[in-house]
Amino acid sequence: MSYETLAITWFGLWGLLWAVYFMLDGFDLGVGLLYPFIAKNDREKSHLMNSIGPFWDGNEVWLVTAGGATFAAFPSTYAVMFSTFYMPFMLILLGLILRGTAIEFVGKSENEQWKKGWKWAFFFGSFLVVFIFGVVFANMFQGIPFDDNGYQGTFLSFFNGYGLMGGLLFFSLFILTGSVWIGLKTADTLSKRAMDWAGKLWYAVVAITLIFLVMSYSSTNLYQNYFEKPAWFIVPAIAVIALLAVKLFIGRGDAFKSFIASSVLIFTTTFFGIIGLFPNMFPSSLGDQFSLTVFNSSSSEYTLNIMLIVALIFVPIVIFYQIMMFKIFSGKVTDEDAHY
């Protein structure tokens, strides 16, 4: 395999890791966003926590893997990306810490103020992760103002119109998949309430997605690869079909198929951006000569080869482990599982 082919392969794997992370962690982040609002009592809150308990930390393995792949395969991109997005990434880290501690500590005391504090920590932690990731990726698609002297903007520069719309897109997608996950994993009134929420949230997802796509046309070059190679339109086409399928299955009360469709929606939406980004990894809005691409920021041929061998061995093991986890904990949460 030539060096160029290896670099392109690793770009595809890099995009795949991010898409899998957002697809898998999306539902438990969505549960965090819904947690203070959809649960009416301690019993229902406990059911929500138990619905994601066996999965949330395993899902975040893909985040570590995506970050590690960026560091090893595209070290120049990693260096510039993490220095440029230092404050947004610190907010994401804060969100992950708040989520993890809330999940572990919310049930450690019967004090109502204790429970209330961790309830909102769980929500705000989930919100930070979801919204800031959306802002970060939207800014990457649009281009970052950096040159040989580093980042030329400010922290608030990231929260431009397109960046904010990226945050709203992620928020709407994740809260939708979170609601159908609750519908799948819980029973009775909580499950029905979650599916009702999903049916209403679907319209917000449609509206936000349409606005994001229109803004992507005017604010980015994401469509250029699609116009040059129309076959790639199959990816957004699948996303549209998945979005319609979510609504269809919600109407039928089929939480399982709704969840599968929402997961496909997140996966293909992520790849819509990844395909449009190529060959850029970290585009500069100050000139193409400053942009970091697949070819000018990748590691050596030797490193990429070794990493590919490692990925082919260990990624299937992780996939097998997660499949087994979903199979073992495939049933609905019951009162016997929950502690409240």
Judge whether 297 and 74 are in contact, CB under 8 Å: yes
**Tens-digit pLDDT profile for residues 189-210:** 999 999 999 999 999 999 999 9
Domain positions in the chain are 3-328
337 pLDDT above the threshold of 70 = no
Confidence of residue 338 (pLDDT cuts 50, 70, 90): low
**Tens-digit pLDDT profile for residues 322-332:** 888 888 888 88
**Tens-digit pLDDT profile for residues 4-47:** 999 999 999 999 999 999 999 999 999 999 999 998 888 889 99
Classify burial at 282, counting beta carbons within 10 Å of its beta carbon; exposed 0-12, middle 13-18, buried 19 or more.
buried
Quote the CA–CA distance of 338 and 34 in Å, as a whole number.
Answer: 18
- DSSP for 74-124, please give it: -HHHHHHHHHHTHHHHHHHHHHHHHHHHHHHHTTS---HHHHHHHHHHHHH
Quote the CA–CA distance of 221 and 283 in Å, as a whole number.
Answer: 10
Confidence of residue 256 (pLDDT cuts 50, 70, 90): very high
Mean pLDDT computed over 62-88: 93
Query: Model's pTM, two decimal places?
Result: 0.94
336 pLDDT above the threshold of 80 = no
* pLDDT for residue 321: 86
Give the number of other CB atoms < 10 A from CB of residue 142: 20
Q: Which residues of 205-235 are buried (b: 16+ CB within 10 A; e: fewer)?
A: bbebbeebeebbeebbebbeebeeeeebeeb
Phi/psi for 29 (5° steps) reads: -65, -40
Task: With CA atoms as reference, report the closest residue to 168 among 209, 200, 121, 125.
Answer: 209
Percent of the chain, pLDDT > 70?
98
Quote the CA–CA distance of 43 and 47 in Å, as a whole number.
Answer: 6
Any idea which fold 3-328 has? Formate dehydrogenase/DMSO reductase fold (1.20.1630)
What is the chain's mean pLDDT, rounded? 92
Confidence of residue 110 (pLDDT cuts 50, 70, 90): confident
